[in-house]
Amino acid sequence: MPKSKATLVVRGIGQCLTMGQGTEAAAGTGQEDVGLIEDAAIAAADGRIVYAGPASGLLREVREAADVVRVDARDGVVLPGFVDPHTHLLFGGWRSAEFGQRVAGDSYQEILAAGGGILSTVAATRELGEEELVDLGRHRLGLMLSHGTTTVEAKSGYGLSLEHESRLVRAARRLAATETVDVVTTLLGAHAVPPEFRGHRDQYVGLVIEMVRALADRIDFVDAFCEEGAFSVAECRQVFAVARDIGLGIKLHADQLGTNGGAELAAEFGAVSADHLDYISATGTAALAESGTVAVLLPTVPMYVMNAHQAPAKAIQKAGVPIALATDFNPGTSPVMSMGVVIATACMLLRMSPEAALVAATRNAAAAIGRSGEIGTLQVGMAADLQVYSVDDYRMLPYRFGELKPDLVVKQGALAHSNDSSFG
């Protein structure tokens, strides 16, 4: 068999975290396997990995192209680019004043009732044109890339009308077409009931269904906020039935503020993910395990809303549900762009092991956006999305609480960002 002609070769890898064999989401004890290879090398061609293994085997498998790019990892750590499977990337304004209110003791519901929360961001976002949204998204994606994130899910949900949700979706699709970071688009029309539909919930649910049909060819997933004060299980079921009939993937904000059957609903529809799950029940956990739905945990959210109650990660993992992690980047309850911060928070507050947290931010996060087999692991045939850290142990990433940024980020086999101009 002829050797692959590599256009990128990474040598000098002290620890290579391949995230294990296979491409499906890892669950249970399998989530503890980071696929560690010491003294490793990686090679890529045409944006795909052609070799990932011991350095001693590199020359047997590949030869270098004339224009090869060589990277010296300096005995550091290499792992897949982070995948952030739950963000609210596009919005106008910030809500820093609410942070002070929460510190003073105001609850999420009290802030919402006083005119803050989601609806205040809706008002600010509706004022922005498409070009302004694209510019904001481009800047934020650049910051995320600098923290090692190479793929992002972007939800709409701050427009709450067909006109404004369409604008958010168009902006996300433009970013997907032009930016280094891959962008997956999710419609979250069922985020909140806008002021103009107050007292007319049924009409607004009907409008959300209209959004699903109108935007079906421009979105990857449909999401809903299933929670008391947001949308009921019955209302979400109406929206999801239409999405399923069209053939769209389903995601769900579930059991964030209380136990309300959200996880069970996600399982009923075979959702790709159920997100938050701070108050998931044993019944809901069992339903997710049966359906294969990924549990996306968002540990920085309870921290920001001053709620000590976190998702029961250990019980979820023990039940055999694959766990992913995400930032939930948004202006109110998690203005966090760094997956490194999320990984550290998951270790310290959810008591996830460093290994399980890193798998959750890569391999399982890819599964949570339907990208298993494409990204999330460092195996032959997968996208050459990776990051290099000049540390001698992968556990330094959570240990340093997100303070570490990758020295180098590679996207589809090309150098995409450097936080150290001397590196490589």
Q: What's the pLDDT score for residue 381?
A: 97
**CATH number for domain 4-81+377-418, candidates 2.30.40.10, 3.40.50.300, 1.10.579.10, 3.30.420.40:** 2.30.40.10
- The band of 112, judged by pLDDT with boundaries at 50, 70 and 90, is confident
Question: What residues form DSSP beta bridges with 162?
Answer: none
pLDDT at 1: 63
% pLDDT > 70, the chain: 100
Q: What is the tens place of the pLDDT at every residue in 39-59?
A: 999 999 999 999 999 999 999
Mean predicted lDDT score pLDDT of the chain: 96
pLDDT tens digits, residue range 354-382?
999 999 999 999 999 999 999 999 999 99
- How far from 391 is each of 52, 101, 356, 403, CA to CA, in Å? 19, 39, 19, 12
Quick: pLDDT tens for 226-249.
998 899 999 999 999 999 999 999
- The reported pLDDT for the residue numbered 424 is 61
Q: What is the pLDDT of residue 4?
A: 83
Residue 73 has pLDDT above 70, yes or no: yes
Between CA 286 and CA 298, with CA 292 as vertex, the angle to 5 degrees is 80
User: Which two three-digit tokens encode residue 124?
Assistant: 């600010």
CB 157 within 8 A of CB 189: yes
Q: Helix or strand or coil: residue 89?
A: coil
Task: List phi, psi (to 5°) of 292.
Answer: 80, 10
183 SS3 class: strand
Q: Which two tokens stand for residue 268?
A: 């009923």
- DSSP assignment, residue 418? E
Q: Which residue in the block uniquely carries the two structure tokens 């959200």?
A: 262
Which tokens in the block code for residue 384? 């050459």
User: Contact at 8 Å (CB) between 277 and 297?
Assistant: yes
What pLDDT is stored for residue 353 in this prediction?
98
Q: How many CB atoms lie within 10 A of CB 57?
A: 12
pLDDT band at 225 (very low <50, low <70, confident <90, very high): very high
DSSP states of 242-280: HHHHHT-EEEEEESSSS-SSHHHHHHHTT-SEEEE-TT-
Rounded Cα distance, 5 and 188, in Å: 43
- Residue ranges of domains in the chain: 4-81+377-418, 82-367
Predicted pLDDT at 115: 74
Quick one: tokens of 383? 């996208």
DSSP state of 305: T
Q: Which residues in 137-170 are b (16+ Cβ under 10 Å) and which e?
A: bbebbeebbbbbbbbbbbbbbbbbbeebbbbbbb
| Residue 87, helix vs strand vs coil | strand
Measure the CA–CA gap between 362 and 82, rounded to whole angstroms.
Answer: 5
Alpha-carbon distance of 92 to 131, in angstroms, equals 12
249-254/48-54 β-pairing: unpaired
pLDDT bin (cut points 50, 70, 90) of residue 113 is: confident
Q: Which two tokens stand for residue 308?
A: 């000590």
CA 16 to chain centre: 22
User: Is pLDDT of 109 > 80?
Assistant: no
3-state secondary structure of 36: strand
Contact 18/377 with Cβ under 8 angstroms?
yes
Return the closest-CA partner of residue 157 out of 133, 191, 126.
191
Indicate the residue type of 130: E
Element (H, E) at 75: strand 62-80
**For the structural domain made of 82-367, what CATH number should be given?**
3.20.20.140
- Summarize pLDDT for 160-217 with one digit per residue, the tens: 999 999 999 999 999 999 999 999 999 999 999 999 999 999 999 999 999 999 999 9
Element at 177 (helix H, strand E) = helix 162-178
